[in-house]
Amino acid sequence: MRPLEGILALDFCQYLAGPSAALRLADLGARVIKIERPNKGDGSRHLVLEGCTSDGDALNFHTINRNKESVAFNTKDPIDLARVKRLIAKADVLIESFRPGVMARMCLDYDSVKEINPRIVYASISGYGETGPWAAKPGQDLLVQSLSGLAWLNGNADQPPLPFALSVADSYTGIHAVEGILACLARRELTGIGGHVEVSLLASALDLQFEVITTYLNDGHRAPSRSSFNNAHAYLSAPYGIYETANGYIALAMGSVSVLGRLVGSEELASCTDEATWFDCRDEIKRAIQEVLIHQTTEHWLGLLEPAGYWCSDVYTWEKLISSDAFARLDFIQDVAREGTEPILTTRCPITFEGETRVDSRPSPRLGEHTQAVIEEFDLDDKEVVA
């Protein structure tokens, strides 16, 4: 039995942040029903990456919405809205990611929903919070990265601000939503009352930067200073970074520059014993490290550094990673294709529990695939009036 078996969650979300939160609940055993618009559905059904689709839906939709059911209800229609409210009355969790005010216009905001079901845990995901001057801005990952200062941590000093090439704000916000939902579910066991969880992409992007923002707030508000050469962390000294070798790359984490010099046979680096210079002169030191490492292979340097306990690693491509024994040990790939279609390989839930055998996901639902079955199972056409 997975930890959340018996929990019913309703997913009113689109794209990534909200659906990823609902996905994690499903991975942990909850039953998740997506509430989608007829004919259109979740916008991510049509958000295609590199032209990759399967069975009419974007590949990304399949991965984010595996393990879910889909019902198509038009909340502007009184009959469908009544069905939604009857379903809410029987749910444990509701997740929504509309702009502030949208759920209220449907009479499905938290205050309205808790009148229907006081035990429900209601999670709202926004771009910038429910109030404030940015509340109506589009809550999109690149825009949030740009507004949060995150982009000024990436790339070298002579480069423009660079975003992470991943939807990090979306993904991190989904994780925070799940944390809040689980906390409210735990509290409900004691009180019998649900609660309202509120998270935003902006707050999550700021929390992601807690260590560097804390530094900024306590060191005289000095802006992050990216390395001019091999920047990997704007606030860490040499040797921190990735360096080219004769046949690839090697990553060097926190460590002594002088010890590194002795290990790689560089008198110049070995003489760098003043730790203050490792940050103040980090670009010059990094260039000196690069001049040494380029002359031998990655394997050569790993053979010298790893036995000495120096923190370093190869820099794998996905091809090399997936072919490694370490990756095989994780057993991390699953097929989530719908029946009768070509395989869709994706990652599995990273969480396992003691004694658990591998748990694979069910395929993502077609739009409205479970509408009639859910109506019948939950008696959603009952004539009883729902407030």
The residues that are catalytic are 170
Which H or E run includes 312? strand 312-314
CA-to-CA distance for 379 and 368, rounded, in angstroms? 17
Distances, alpha carbon 319 to alpha carbons 49, 58, 315, in Å:
19, 23, 11
- Share of the chain residues as helix, strand and coil, in percent rounded to the nearest 5: 40, 15, 45
**Best CA proximity match to 188, nearest among 121, 260, 95:** 121
**DSSP line for 84-141:** HHHHHTT-SEEEE-PPTTHHHHTT-SHHHHHHH-TT-EEEEEESS-SSSTTTTS---H
